[in-house]
Amino acid sequence: MANLFFENSTRTKFSFEVAAKRLGAHVLNFNESNSSVSKGESLYDTLKTFESFGVDTAIVRHSDDYFIESIKDKFKFSVVNAGAGEIQHPSQSLLDVFTLYEEFKKLEGLTIAICGDIKFSRVAKSDIEIFGLLKMKVLLCGPESLIPKQENLPSHCEITTINKAAKEADAIIFLRVQHERHQMFELDIKDYNENFGLNDKLMKKIKKDSIIMHPGPVNRDIEITSHLVECEQSRIFKQMENGVYTRMAILDWLKPQR
Ligand code: CP
């Protein structure tokens, strides 16, 4: 298996590595910054190089929304989407679903709130898609500049306030503020935690049997007040553990038939 990350990662990259090693695979870890891409080698030639090595599965992350789609079926290896620009993060969504199923022993009928930087979040887009397929209701909240318009959303999604989301949701997924993708405007980060983050005041409004999630990495004291990151209702590190099992399942499903 080759981990081909053209964008930074900790959780996805290393959980795929742990998953592959637990399944007995050999793992090649590629970093664009210290590779021959920095000498001008094209991405096509880079991928051809890994094909020449006999790689069966390539785990690919790229900042371009459509790069991963564009290489599908062009090489002898299977391609796994480990994060496509701002539009898809399917393995994260599968681990989110697994974490929810483990908690509630069902999926259909659950109400999940997604709060924060939805505009730039590939996790939000993949979660919205999979939650809809599984007949779950989605509440969306966040700064007006970072959430879509109701008319552009599928019917299982509803824009709401963070206080309503806290009262109604079985799980609230807080999203990382993606400063690196905010090219056109500055967000007022000073008041973010107070208005859209998990803080002590909001914690009191959240249902006692609901859970807190975040795909990571967490900007502590922005999306979540630091001491709440590991509170009793948090499943943030459980999500990371479940990322290994989920990615083991993905790799097992793709097992090369040699
Ligand atoms: N959740 C997630 O994709 O984290 P990384 O960017 O660290 O892989």
CATH of residue 52's domain is: 3.40.50.1370
Residue whose CB lies within 8 A of the most ligand 1 atoms, among 5, 11, 237, for a mutation test: 11
Q: Which pLDDT band holds residue 183 (cuts at 50, 70, 90)?
A: low
Q: What is the pTM of this model?
A: 0.95
Q: How many CB atoms lie within 10 A of CB 106?
A: 12
Q: What percent of the chain has pLDDT over 90?
A: 92
Structure tokens at 162: 């963070």
The average confidence (pLDDT) of the chain is 95
Give the end of a domain, one of 62, 85, 108: 85
Q: Which residue do the tokens 């959240």 mark?
A: 206
Residue whose CB lies within 8 A of the most ligand 1 atoms, among 4, 9, 88, for a mutation test: 9
Domain that holds residue 145: 90-240
- Tens digits of residue pLDDT in 25-46: 999 999 999 999 999 999 999 9
Check if 217 has its Cβ closer than 6 Å to any atom of ligand 1. Answer: yes
Residue 254, domain member (yes or no) = no
Query: How far, in Å, are 29, 114, 121, 160, 225 from residue 143 at the CA level?
Result: 37, 12, 13, 11, 18
- Same-domain pairing of 130 and 199: yes
Beta strands 2-5 and 28-31: pairing type? parallel
Give the end of a domain, one of 85, 111, 132: 85
